[in-house]
Protein backbone atom coordinates (compact mmCIF):
# COMPACT_ATOMS: atom_id res chain seq x y z
CA UNK A 1 0.00 0.00 0.00
CA UNK A 2 2.92 2.36 0.72
CA UNK A 3 4.31 1.74 -2.77
CA UNK A 4 0.87 2.27 -4.28
CA UNK A 5 0.26 5.57 -2.45
CA UNK A 6 3.73 6.92 -3.28
CA UNK A 7 3.39 5.98 -6.93
CA UNK A 8 -0.08 7.53 -7.21
CA UNK A 9 1.15 10.71 -5.50
CA UNK A 10 4.16 11.13 -7.77
CA UNK A 11 2.23 10.49 -10.96
CA UNK A 12 -0.63 12.76 -9.85
CA UNK A 13 1.85 15.55 -9.08
CA UNK A 14 3.38 15.09 -12.51
CA UNK A 15 -0.07 15.21 -14.09
CA UNK A 16 -0.90 18.47 -12.27
CA UNK A 17 2.48 19.95 -13.21
CA UNK A 18 1.89 19.23 -16.89
CA UNK A 19 -1.54 20.84 -16.62
CA UNK A 20 -0.06 23.96 -15.03
CA UNK A 21 2.63 24.38 -17.69
CA UNK A 22 0.14 23.90 -20.51
CA UNK A 23 -2.09 26.43 -18.73
CA UNK A 24 0.75 28.97 -18.94
CA UNK A 25 0.53 28.73 -22.70
CA UNK A 26 -3.24 29.20 -22.72
CA UNK A 27 -3.13 32.01 -20.15
CA UNK A 28 -4.80 30.34 -17.13
CA UNK A 29 -2.33 27.99 -15.40
CA UNK A 30 -4.19 27.82 -12.05
CA UNK A 31 -7.38 26.69 -13.73
CA UNK A 32 -5.54 24.07 -15.80
CA UNK A 33 -3.67 22.83 -12.71
CA UNK A 34 -6.92 22.60 -10.73
CA UNK A 35 -8.60 20.76 -13.57
CA UNK A 36 -5.64 18.38 -13.82
CA UNK A 37 -5.79 17.75 -10.05
CA UNK A 38 -9.47 16.88 -10.20
CA UNK A 39 -8.88 14.58 -13.18
CA UNK A 40 -5.91 12.95 -11.40
CA UNK A 41 -8.00 12.23 -8.30
CA UNK A 42 -10.80 10.79 -10.41
CA UNK A 43 -8.30 8.69 -12.40
CA UNK A 44 -6.74 7.35 -9.19
CA UNK A 45 -10.12 6.28 -7.86
CA UNK A 46 -11.29 4.92 -11.19
CA UNK A 47 -8.08 2.99 -11.90
CA UNK A 48 -8.10 1.51 -8.40
CA UNK A 49 -11.68 0.30 -8.74
CA UNK A 50 -11.53 -0.79 -12.38
CA UNK A 51 -7.84 -1.60 -12.94
CA UNK A 52 -8.65 -5.04 -14.32
CA UNK A 53 -11.18 -3.77 -16.88
CA UNK A 54 -8.88 -0.92 -17.92
CA UNK A 55 -5.92 -3.25 -18.47
CA UNK A 56 -8.03 -5.71 -20.44
CA UNK A 57 -9.38 -2.91 -22.62
CA UNK A 58 -5.95 -1.36 -23.24
CA UNK A 59 -4.55 -4.75 -24.28
CA UNK A 60 -7.63 -5.84 -26.30
CA UNK A 61 -8.00 -8.95 -24.11
CA UNK A 62 -11.20 -11.00 -24.11
CA UNK A 63 -12.27 -13.12 -21.14
CA UNK A 64 -13.01 -16.69 -22.19
CA UNK A 65 -14.91 -19.52 -20.55
CA UNK A 66 -13.54 -22.82 -19.31
CA UNK A 67 -15.22 -24.63 -22.19
CA UNK A 68 -13.34 -22.40 -24.66
CA UNK A 69 -9.91 -22.84 -23.06
CA UNK A 70 -9.98 -25.96 -20.86
CA UNK A 71 -6.19 -26.38 -20.75
CA UNK A 72 -5.59 -22.81 -19.65
CA UNK A 73 -8.27 -23.05 -16.98
CA UNK A 74 -6.90 -26.34 -15.70
CA UNK A 75 -3.39 -24.95 -15.33
CA UNK A 76 -4.52 -21.65 -13.79
CA UNK A 77 -6.87 -23.40 -11.36
CA UNK A 78 -4.17 -25.82 -10.23
CA UNK A 79 -1.59 -23.07 -9.71
CA UNK A 80 -4.05 -20.83 -7.87
CA UNK A 81 -4.97 -23.69 -5.54
CA UNK A 82 -1.29 -24.36 -4.82
CA UNK A 83 -0.81 -20.66 -4.03
CA UNK A 84 -3.90 -20.60 -1.80
CA UNK A 85 -5.76 -18.19 -4.09
CA UNK A 86 -9.18 -18.15 -5.79
CA UNK A 87 -9.01 -19.15 -9.45
CA UNK A 88 -8.52 -16.02 -11.60
CA UNK A 89 -10.49 -15.44 -14.77
CA UNK A 90 -8.72 -16.25 -18.01
CA UNK A 91 -8.43 -13.93 -21.03
CA UNK A 92 -7.04 -14.32 -24.54
CA UNK A 93 -5.40 -11.60 -26.63
CA UNK A 94 -5.49 -12.13 -30.37
CA UNK A 95 -1.91 -11.17 -31.18
CA UNK A 96 0.95 -13.01 -32.90
CA UNK A 97 3.39 -11.56 -30.34
CA UNK A 98 3.93 -14.08 -27.51
CA UNK A 99 3.32 -12.53 -24.09
CA UNK A 100 1.17 -12.66 -20.95
CA UNK A 101 0.08 -10.50 -18.04
CA UNK A 102 -2.17 -10.49 -14.97
CA UNK A 103 -4.40 -7.71 -13.65
CA UNK A 104 -6.93 -6.90 -10.92
CA UNK A 105 -7.08 -5.21 -7.51
CA UNK A 106 -6.33 -8.45 -5.71
CA UNK A 107 -6.78 -12.22 -5.69
CA UNK A 108 -10.57 -12.05 -5.52
CA UNK A 109 -11.01 -10.21 -8.83
CA UNK A 110 -7.92 -11.06 -10.83
CA UNK A 111 -7.51 -11.96 -14.49
CA UNK A 112 -4.65 -13.81 -16.19
CA UNK A 113 -4.26 -13.08 -19.91
CA UNK A 114 -2.12 -14.71 -22.60
CA UNK A 115 -1.71 -13.99 -26.28
CA UNK A 116 -2.49 -16.44 -29.04
CA UNK A 117 1.13 -16.01 -30.09
CA UNK A 118 2.34 -17.34 -26.73
CA UNK A 119 0.11 -20.40 -26.92
CA UNK A 120 1.50 -21.12 -30.36
CA UNK A 121 5.20 -21.29 -29.39
CA UNK A 122 5.37 -22.75 -25.86
CA UNK A 123 4.78 -26.28 -24.65
CA UNK A 124 2.57 -27.06 -21.67
CA UNK A 125 5.41 -26.96 -19.13
CA UNK A 126 6.49 -23.53 -20.39
CA UNK A 127 2.91 -22.30 -20.38
CA UNK A 128 2.50 -23.47 -16.78
CA UNK A 129 5.72 -21.70 -15.81
CA UNK A 130 4.56 -18.43 -17.41
CA UNK A 131 1.20 -18.66 -15.68
CA UNK A 132 2.89 -19.36 -12.35
CA UNK A 133 4.80 -16.08 -12.77
CA UNK A 134 1.51 -14.24 -13.30
CA UNK A 135 -0.18 -15.97 -10.35
CA UNK A 136 2.72 -14.76 -8.18
CA UNK A 137 2.03 -11.20 -9.30
CA UNK A 138 -1.62 -11.68 -8.33
CA UNK A 139 -0.67 -13.02 -4.90
CA UNK A 140 1.40 -9.94 -4.07
CA UNK A 141 -0.96 -7.41 -5.71
CA UNK A 142 1.77 -6.26 -8.07
CA UNK A 143 -0.82 -6.11 -10.83
CA UNK A 144 -2.81 -3.42 -9.03
CA UNK A 145 0.21 -1.14 -8.82
CA UNK A 146 1.16 -1.78 -12.45
CA UNK A 147 -2.41 -1.24 -13.67
CA UNK A 148 -2.86 2.04 -11.78
CA UNK A 149 0.53 3.26 -13.03
CA UNK A 150 -0.37 2.35 -16.60
CA UNK A 151 -3.69 4.22 -16.39
CA UNK A 152 -2.24 7.45 -14.99
CA UNK A 153 0.80 7.32 -17.27
CA UNK A 154 -1.53 6.95 -20.26
CA UNK A 155 -3.48 10.01 -19.09
CA UNK A 156 -0.21 11.97 -18.82
CA UNK A 157 0.64 10.95 -22.37
CA UNK A 158 -2.74 12.15 -23.67
CA UNK A 159 -2.48 15.45 -21.75
CA UNK A 160 1.03 15.95 -23.14
CA UNK A 161 -0.30 15.26 -26.63
CA UNK A 162 -2.91 17.98 -26.10
CA UNK A 163 -0.11 20.30 -24.99
CA UNK A 164 1.91 19.61 -28.13
CA UNK A 165 -1.14 20.14 -30.30
CA UNK A 166 -1.84 23.46 -28.58
CA UNK A 167 1.78 24.58 -28.83
CA UNK A 168 1.90 23.85 -32.55
CA UNK A 169 -1.54 25.15 -33.54
CA UNK A 170 -2.58 27.51 -30.74
CA UNK A 171 -2.89 31.27 -31.09
CA UNK A 172 -1.20 32.30 -27.83
CA UNK A 173 1.12 35.32 -28.02
CA UNK A 174 3.23 34.00 -25.14
CA UNK A 175 6.02 32.36 -27.11
CA UNK A 176 8.06 31.46 -24.03
CA UNK A 177 5.10 29.66 -22.48
CA UNK A 178 4.51 27.86 -25.76
CA UNK A 179 8.11 26.63 -25.89
CA UNK A 180 7.95 25.52 -22.23
CA UNK A 181 4.65 23.69 -22.83
CA UNK A 182 6.16 21.98 -25.86
CA UNK A 183 9.26 20.85 -23.93
CA UNK A 184 7.24 19.60 -20.94
CA UNK A 185 4.79 17.79 -23.19
CA UNK A 186 7.69 15.74 -24.56
CA UNK A 187 9.45 15.16 -21.23
CA UNK A 188 6.41 14.34 -19.07
CA UNK A 189 5.63 10.94 -20.65
CA UNK A 190 9.30 9.97 -20.21
CA UNK A 191 9.15 10.96 -16.55
CA UNK A 192 6.00 8.89 -16.09
CA UNK A 193 7.76 5.93 -17.70
CA UNK A 194 10.68 6.36 -15.27
CA UNK A 195 8.26 6.11 -12.34
CA UNK A 196 6.84 2.91 -13.81
CA UNK A 197 10.35 1.56 -14.26
CA UNK A 198 11.26 2.23 -10.64
CA UNK A 199 8.32 0.21 -9.29
CA UNK A 200 8.40 -2.63 -11.78
CA UNK A 201 11.86 -4.15 -12.24
CA UNK A 202 12.34 -5.58 -8.76
CA UNK A 203 8.92 -7.24 -8.77
CA UNK A 204 9.72 -9.06 -12.01
CA UNK A 205 12.65 -10.80 -10.34
CA UNK A 206 10.41 -11.62 -7.39
CA UNK A 207 7.66 -13.06 -9.58
CA UNK A 208 10.22 -15.13 -11.51
CA UNK A 209 11.56 -16.60 -8.28
CA UNK A 210 8.19 -17.26 -6.63
CA UNK A 211 6.62 -18.44 -9.87
CA UNK A 212 9.41 -20.97 -10.33
CA UNK A 213 8.89 -22.16 -6.75
CA UNK A 214 5.16 -22.50 -7.41
CA UNK A 215 5.41 -24.48 -10.65
CA UNK A 216 8.73 -26.13 -9.73
CA UNK A 217 9.81 -25.46 -13.32
CA UNK A 218 12.46 -22.70 -13.37
CA UNK A 219 14.05 -24.02 -16.56
CA UNK A 220 10.67 -24.06 -18.30
CA UNK A 221 10.16 -20.41 -17.31
CA UNK A 222 13.67 -19.57 -18.53
CA UNK A 223 12.91 -21.27 -21.85
CA UNK A 224 9.59 -19.43 -22.23
CA UNK A 225 11.20 -16.06 -21.44
CA UNK A 226 13.84 -16.75 -24.08
CA UNK A 227 11.20 -17.50 -26.71
CA UNK A 228 9.20 -14.37 -25.86
CA UNK A 229 12.34 -12.20 -25.90
CA UNK A 230 13.47 -13.53 -29.27
CA UNK A 231 10.05 -12.82 -30.76
CA UNK A 232 10.08 -9.25 -29.39
CA UNK A 233 13.55 -8.61 -30.79
CA UNK A 234 12.62 -10.11 -34.16
CA UNK A 235 10.11 -7.32 -34.71
CA UNK A 236 6.84 -9.04 -33.77
CA UNK A 237 4.94 -6.07 -32.38
CA UNK A 238 1.96 -5.76 -30.08
CA UNK A 239 -0.62 -3.13 -30.97
CA UNK A 240 -1.09 -1.84 -27.42
CA UNK A 241 -0.31 1.39 -25.57
CA UNK A 242 3.38 1.49 -24.47
CA UNK A 243 2.27 2.57 -20.98
CA UNK A 244 1.01 -1.00 -20.44
CA UNK A 245 4.59 -2.35 -20.65
CA UNK A 246 4.90 -3.04 -16.87
CA UNK A 247 1.98 -5.47 -17.08
CA UNK A 248 3.63 -7.94 -19.45
CA UNK A 249 5.95 -10.78 -18.50
CA UNK A 250 8.47 -9.44 -21.07
CA UNK A 251 8.54 -5.85 -22.29
CA UNK A 252 6.81 -6.06 -25.71
CA UNK A 253 8.54 -2.93 -27.02
CA UNK A 254 12.12 -4.19 -26.95
CA UNK A 255 12.70 -3.26 -30.60
CA UNK A 256 12.50 0.46 -29.82
CA UNK A 257 15.83 1.83 -28.54
CA UNK A 258 14.27 4.68 -26.54
CA UNK A 259 11.64 2.48 -24.93
CA UNK A 260 14.28 -0.10 -24.10
CA UNK A 261 16.32 2.59 -22.33
CA UNK A 262 13.34 3.16 -20.04
CA UNK A 263 12.40 -0.52 -19.86
CA UNK A 264 10.14 -1.50 -16.98
CA UNK A 265 11.74 -4.97 -16.95
CA UNK A 266 15.21 -6.21 -16.06
CA UNK A 267 17.22 -7.69 -18.92
CA UNK A 268 15.66 -11.00 -19.91
CA UNK A 269 19.11 -12.57 -20.13
CA UNK A 270 19.71 -11.79 -16.44
CA UNK A 271 16.33 -13.24 -15.52
CA UNK A 272 17.15 -16.42 -17.43
CA UNK A 273 20.55 -16.70 -15.73
CA UNK A 274 18.94 -16.39 -12.30
CA UNK A 275 16.40 -19.08 -13.11
CA UNK A 276 19.12 -21.43 -14.32
CA UNK A 277 21.06 -20.87 -11.11
CA UNK A 278 17.89 -21.53 -9.16
CA UNK A 279 17.38 -24.82 -11.00
CA UNK A 280 20.93 -25.91 -10.15
CA UNK A 281 20.67 -25.05 -6.46
CA UNK A 282 17.12 -26.22 -5.74
CA UNK A 283 16.57 -29.96 -5.60
CA UNK A 284 13.67 -31.51 -7.44
CA UNK A 285 13.18 -28.70 -9.96
CA UNK A 286 13.37 -29.12 -13.72
Closest among 54, 75, 55, 72 to 64, alpha carbons compared: 72
User: Strands 89-93 and 111-115: what pairing?
Assistant: parallel
Task: Kindly write down the DSSP assignment for every residue of the chain, as one continuous string.
Answer: -HHHHHHHHHHHHHHHHHHHHHHHHHT-HHHHHHHHHHHHHHHHHHHHHHHHHHHHHHTTEEEE-TTT-HHHHHHHHHHHHHHT-PPPEEEEE--SS--EEEESSSGGG-EEEEEHHHHHH--HHHHHHHHHHHHHHHHTTHHHHHHHHHHHHHHHHHHHHHHHHHHHH---S-HHHHHHHHHHHHHHHHHHHHHHHHHHHHHHHHHHHHHHHHHT-HHHHHHHHHHHHHHHHTT----S-GGGGGGBSS-TTTT-HHHHHT-SS--HHHHHHHHHHHHHHSTT--
Active site residues: 134
Amino acid sequence: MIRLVLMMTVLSALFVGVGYVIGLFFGDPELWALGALVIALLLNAFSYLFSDKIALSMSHAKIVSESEQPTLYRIVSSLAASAGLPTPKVAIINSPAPNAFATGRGPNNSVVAVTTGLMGIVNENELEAVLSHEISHVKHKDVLIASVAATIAAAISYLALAGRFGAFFGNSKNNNAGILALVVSFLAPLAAMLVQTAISRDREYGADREGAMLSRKPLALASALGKIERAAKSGVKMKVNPTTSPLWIVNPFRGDALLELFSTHPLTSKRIDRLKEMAQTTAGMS
